[in-house]
Each structure stands twice: as structure tokens, then as C-alpha cells.
Structure 1
Amino acid sequence: MMLSYDNRAMAQSVTTTSDHLPLSPTSSTTISSSMSSTTDQPKTKHHHIWLITGPAGCGKSTVAQFIAKAMNLPYIEGDEYHPQANVDKMAQGIPLTDADRWDWLTLLREEAINRLSSGDQGVVLTCSALKRKYRDVIRVAPYYDHNVLLHFIYLHASEEVLMKRVGSRQGHFMHANMVHSQFAALQPPGADEKDVISVDVSGSIEAVEEEALAKIRQAVEQALDRDS
């Protein structure tokens, strides 16, 4: 039986709290190396940040957990790093401003770099990154470490599809009406954003996970070709 996005997230509740109020940064989820995985990320000269992005309801946390487990990589749930003021705003259905996001985005970038600096070959990170300038904050990462390659995995579907998914969630701080505001703010990645991998999430979660993983493996192979 195929699981929906929300049912899959509930089934994985032992490894994530992303469908509930965020925890403190120190409790960020890590997919342990002791867990079974499809395949480890191949060793390359570079370390990789796989940033799973897209508007509310696109399945960022579900897909990120799958990718992290499949490639045996640590996972950072971006929502856990929001300050309480941001959480309170979103719980009231108030969209965040740019000013609300800058420190949060910087913190996510720094945490990803720290994970790689500690020896991890890659890290999986979730962040909506709706606007190009938000993505550009994370894009600074390779300037701090030239061995880092950043990849955005952009999950997308129609507003109608995502509204329905968010509306069915229980206990999440992101309300369905926030999907509309996110689409109003959304700047889909342009053709010149070469570090973006697009995945349509209109289909089943199994199909989305496999497509995302296949495209990530292809990106790793391209990095290996570059290294050789």
C-alpha cells in the first residue's frame, strides 16, 4: 500500500518532529550511520550540501529523510532552527518578512558547513528558500569552504495540490492559508540557477523519492567526472 506524504511523515515520527512545533537546534535530526541505507554517497573531492526546497506541502521533510537515509547522510530539519518569534508568527498565520529570515538562513548555512567540516561527505538540509535572495544566502557556503558543492532540490506542484496536502495536516504550525502567501512570494528558480534540480511532486511519494534520489546520484556522478 502506498503512503501519502502526511501518512509517511507520521510513520517516520520516530526520527523526526517536523510535523510538530520545531525543537531547538541542538535536537536537529541526524540519520545515523548505523541505519540501513540504499547506498552511501560516493566519496568525491568535494563535500555536498543537498538543500531540499519548495513551498509548504511539497514534502520537503519526507523527501529529505528518504534521501538522508538512502545515502547515509546527516539530516538538518530547517524548521527546527527558526527562533520562537518566527514560530509564533507562523502559528498565527502571519507570513515571515525578509528581516525575520536572514539570521535563520545564515544559521542554516553555518550548521551545514559545520557538519561537513566535522567530516561528513554530505548533508541533507530542508529550507523553503522561496526567493532567489534567500537561496543566495545559502549559496555563500562554497566561499567559506571551496570544497563544498551546493545543490538545490526544488520540489514543486500546483498551489491546489499543496493546499490540499497542508490542509490535511494535524498539529503543524503551517496553516493551509500560508500556502497561498508562499506562492505569492515564490520566485521559481530561473534557468541561470545551474545548481537547481527540479522534481515535480504531483505524483506518489514513492515516485517523487525515487526521482529525487536518481537525480542526486546523477549529480554525484557528474562531480566524480569533474574530479577525475
Structure 2
Amino acid sequence: MNIRPASPLRPAPLIIMGVSGCGKSTLGQMLAQHLDGRFIEGDSYHPAANIARMSQGIALTDEDRWGWLDTLAQELRHAATTESGPAVLACSALKASYRDRLRQGDPRAFFVLLQAPREVLAQRLDTRESHFMGSTLLDSQLGTIEPLRPDERGVVLDATVPPQRLLEQVLALQCVT
């Protein structure tokens, strides 16, 4: 666990990350509500071309992601100057280079990496409704995700525990209070 306290002036953003189906949006919405912060659903910022690729089972390249990540960093920057509560972003943030790009919006970002076994993730994706990302790209994401580096502020949590328990675990971290 790489925990350092957030700035007392304004809360650091929380980036809930991991592969599809790990529960990023569920936990992110709960955290934003509990902390009176702004929830940013990363998937809603994907350009139409990215959504079309993923809907067809085609994995995104780094080039496909750069503009999307830059837009999310802008949203974090904007939230840091306009919101009283923390920004809570749900975003896969699979690679360290993607997280570096997101930190350009606010270098104090704290990452919450949600991990679960492949079977659990696949089952969640196969039963999820109204989302462009199915289980066909799960193995690609699992092969791409990079662990948090020692210099990254963050924590790894078990995404198989109930969302309420995950909320409690994040709220217990010093970086959030």
C-alpha cells in the first residue's frame, strides 16, 4: 500500500481502476455520493470510434486511448478547481503510462485497483446489460494491466467482496479523510 495524505486544501481525486467487470462504476458512484464529490464515468468520454471498436471485440491501441485519457485528465483538472468534494473517476487505467497521463490532471490522484479472478469478471460481463464492453476483450485487458508502481499512490482491493465493504475499505484509508 502506497498511502500518503492528500492536500488539506482540497481532496485528491480517486481513480477507481481495473479491467471491465471489476466494479469500478459501482464503487465510484458510491464513493462520490458518500464524499459529496463528482463522479466521472470514464466510459462516457470514449469517442464513438473507440466504442465501435470495443463493441466489435477489437482491443484499443495506445493511440486510440491518448485523446480519451487527455480528456479525462482535463476533467480531473477542472474538478480540482471547481468542486468542493473529490473527483471520483472510474477508468480502466490499465498501464502505468495511462496513469501518468491521468495524473497530468492532478498529480495527487489516488488509485484504487480492483482485482478479481477471471471467472468472476467473465460472469459479470456476460450478465451485464446495456454496455458496449463484453467478455470478448477480457483476456486482452488482463494481459495489458500493469500493477501499481511503488511511486504511485494507491491500493489494491479484492473486487469479489461486496461493494459496501469496498466502500468502507476505501473510506478507512488516510488519503480519503
TM-score, normalization by structure 1: 0.71
3-state DSSP of counterpart to 1:57: coil
User: How far did 1:43 drift?
Assistant: 8.6
Tell me whether 1:177 sits opposite 2:136 in the alignment.
Answer: yes
C-alpha contact 1:56 1:166 (8 A) present in aligned 2: yes
1:201 to 142, 151, 159: 159
C-alpha contact 1:43 1:121 (8 A) present in aligned 2: no
Pair 119,173 (structure 1): closer, same or farther in 2 beyond 3 Å: closer
Greater Rg, structure 1 or structure 2? 1
3-state DSSP of counterpart to 1:113: helix
Tell me whether 1:99 sits opposite 2:72 in the alignment.
Answer: no
What residue is the counterpart of 1:220 in the other structure?
A: 176
C-alpha contact 1:73 1:120 (8 A) present in aligned 2: yes
What residue is the counterpart of 1:159 in the other structure?
A: 118
Query: How far, CA to CA, are the matches of 2:103 and 2:75 in structure 1?
Result: 14
C-alpha contact 1:167 1:175 (8 A) present in aligned 2: yes
TM-score, normalization by structure 2: 0.90
Query: How far, CA to CA, are the matches of 2:169 and 2:82 in structure 1?
Result: 29
Aligned length: 172
The code of the aligned residue for 2:169 comes to: E
Question: Alignment RMSD, CA only?
Answer: 1.8
Tell me whether 1:124 sits opposite 2:67 in the alignment.
Answer: no
Q: Deviation string for 1:96-115 (max 9, x for gaps)?
A: 00000000000000011112
The code of the aligned residue for 2:91 comes to: C
Pair 48,199 (structure 1): closer, same or farther in 2 beyond 3 Å: same
What residue is the counterpart of 1:226 in the other structure?
A: none
Give the share of equivalent positions with the same residue, in percent: 37
Structure of greater relative contact order (alpha carbons < 8 Å, 6+ residues apart): 2
Q: Which moved more, 1:200-209 or 1:94-103?
A: 200-209
Q: Deviation string for 1:187-212 (max 9, x for gaps)?
A: 1213x133112111122222222222
C-alpha contact 2:23 2:114 (8 A) present in aligned 1: yes
3-state DSSP of counterpart to 1:210: helix
Query: How far, CA to CA, are the matches of 1:207 and 1:121 in structure 2?
Result: 21
Query: How far, CA to CA, are the matches of 2:59 and 2:50 in structure 1?
Result: 9
Task: Write the mapping of 1:1-228 to structure 2, written as runs, cut at 5 A.
Answer: 44-142=8-106, 149-190=108-149, 192-215=150-173, 218-221=174-177
Structure 2 unmatched runs, 5+: 1-5
Q: Deviation string for 1:22-58 (max 9, x for gaps)?
A: xxxxxxxxxxxxxxxxxxxx99224411111111110
- Runs of 4+ that moved beyond 6 A: none
The code of the aligned residue for 2:167 comes to: E
C-alpha contact 1:46 1:149 (8 A) present in aligned 2: no
Query: How far, CA to CA, are the matches of 1:158 and 1:67 in structure 2?
Result: 23
The code of the aligned residue for 2:133 comes to: M
What residue is the counterpart of 1:29 in the other structure?
A: none
Structure 1 unmatched runs, 5+: 1-41, 143-147, 222-228
